[in-house]
Amino acid sequence: MTEMKHEGSCHCGAVKFEITANIDKVYECNCSICSRAGWRLTFVPEAAFQLEAGEGAVTDYQFNKHHSHHLFCTTCGVRSFSWGSAEDGNKTYAVNTRCLEGFEHGELPVETFDGASM
C-alpha cells in the first residue's frame, strides 16, 4: 500500500501536524493517561512526522518512568501526539488518530498496546 499524507491538529487548531503513513490498524494503549483520554494510536518514525504549527503552543507532560513526552495544547488541552524512543532507540511519534482530519476508523482492526508495562 502507498503511504498517505494525513493532516492533524488539536481542537483549537493552534497545533497542526502532518504524518506520512499507511494506517492499516490502530492501537488502544492501556496506560493510565491514554485509556482515560480514549486515544486511538498509530506509531510513525520521526521522518514521517512534521509539526506544521504550534511548537510554542504545547506543554510537555511526563509521568512514571518518563519514557514518553505527552504534549498537549496550552489553549484547548488536546493531546494530539506524543513522542518517545522505539525499542531500537530511534525517536518515534504516537499520533492520536482521532485528531487526523477526515480519518475514518471504520473497520480497521484495533490492537492493545501495553503501555502500562513500560
Rounded to whole angstroms, the Cα distance separating 98 from 105 reads 9
Encode pLDDT of 65-116 as tens digits: 657 788 999 999 999 999 988 778 889 999 999 999 999 888 889 988 887 7
Mean pLDDT, range 40-61, rounded to an integer = 92
Helix locations, 30-106, DSSP H: 32-37
Model pTM score: 0.86
pLDDT recorded at residue 65: 65
Encode pLDDT of 3-34 as tens digits: 899 999 999 999 999 999 999 999 998 888 78
pLDDT recorded at residue 115: 76
* Structural domains of the chain, with CATH: 4-98 (2.170.150.70)
